[in-house]
C-alpha cells in the first residue's frame, strides 16, 4: 500500500497509508495536485503539532471506510443534533479542553469534516443546559461585562429564555 509522509509542526514525521491520509481533504487535494510525487516526499503540516497529528491519524484510521460527509447544504436537521456521537468517538474525544480545541483547529485546517463535526458536537454538549456563568467557569472565560451591562443584555434577550 502506498504511503505519504506527514510532518508535524515540531518536525515529527509519520508514514500514513494514502487512503487514511485522504480523509483530510487538504492532503487529498495536495496529493491530487502532485500525482508524480515520490513516496519519500514529505507533506509539511505547519499548523498541527505531533501530539495532535497522532490523534488525527488515529481518528482517520478508525474512520477510513466511512462514507464522505456531504456539505451542509443537504444535511437534515437530525444530523445536526449533538446526541448522536458514535461511542468510539465519545471515548476518543474524552481529552482535556486544550487538546479538544487543538483537534478542532487541526480538523478545520485539514478539512476533516467528520472529525470537526464530532469535536464541535462534543463542545456543544459541554455547553448544553448551562447558564452563562457556568459556561464561563467551564471554559475559563472572564466576564468583562459590568453588572449594568449584563442586566441590560438580559433584558434585551429576555424573549429567548426558557420559562
Query: Would you state the pLDDT for residue 67?
Result: 79
- Three-state DSSP class for 6? strand
Residue 67 burial (CB < 10 Å; 0-12/13-18/19+)? exposed
pLDDT at residue number 78: 46
More confident residue, 24 or 157: 24
Q: Cβ(6)–Cβ(16) under 8 Å?
A: yes
pTM: 0.80
Non-local (6+) Cβ contacts of 42 within 8 A are: 5, 6, 7, 13
DSSP label at residue 4: E
Q: What is the DSSP letter of 24?
A: S
**Residue 9 has what pLDDT?**
96
Nearest 5 degrees, angle CA 5-CA 89-CA 24? Answer: 30
pLDDT in tens, 36-81: 666 667 899 999 999 999 999 999 999 998 877 766 655 555 456 7
Reported in sequence order, the residue ranges of the chain that DSSP labels E, i.e. its strands, are: 3-7, 13-17, 42-44
* pLDDT value at 7 more than 60: yes
Q: What is the pLDDT of residue 116?
A: 96
pLDDT digits (tens, 9 = 90+) for 91-138: 999 999 999 999 999 999 999 999 999 999 999 998 888 888 888 888
Among residues 19, 24, 85, 86, which one has the least CA distance to residue 55?
A: 24
Amino acid at each position: 500500500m502506498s504511503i505519504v509522509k506527514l510532518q508535524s509542526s515540531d518536525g515529527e514525521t509519520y508514514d500514513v497509508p494514502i487512503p487514511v491520509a485522504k480523509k483530510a481533504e487538504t492532503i487529498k487535494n495536495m496529493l491530487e495536485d502532485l500525482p508524480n510525487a515520490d513516496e519519500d516526499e514529505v507533506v509539511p503540516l505547519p499548523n498541527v503539532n505531533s501530539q495532535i497529528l497522532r490523534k488525527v491519524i488515529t481518528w482517520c484510521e478508525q474512520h477510513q471506510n466511512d462514507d464522505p460527509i456531504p456539505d451542509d447544504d443537504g444535511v437534515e436537521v437530525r444530523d445536526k443534533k449533538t446526541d448522536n456521537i458514535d461511542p468510539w468517538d465519545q471515548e476518543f474525544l474524552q481529552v482535556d479542553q486544550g487538546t479538544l480545541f487543538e483537534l478542532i483547529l487541526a480538523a478545520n485546517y485539514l478539512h476533516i469534516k467528520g472529525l470537526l463535526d464530532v469535536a464541535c458536537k462534543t463542545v456543544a454538549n459541554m455547553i448544553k443546559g448551562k447558564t452563562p456563568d457556568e459556561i464561563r467557569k467551564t471554559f475559563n472565560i472572564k466576564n468583562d461585562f459590568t453588572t449594568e451591562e449584563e442586566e441590560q443584555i438580559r433584558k434585551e434577550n429576555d424573549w429567548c429564555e426558557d420559562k
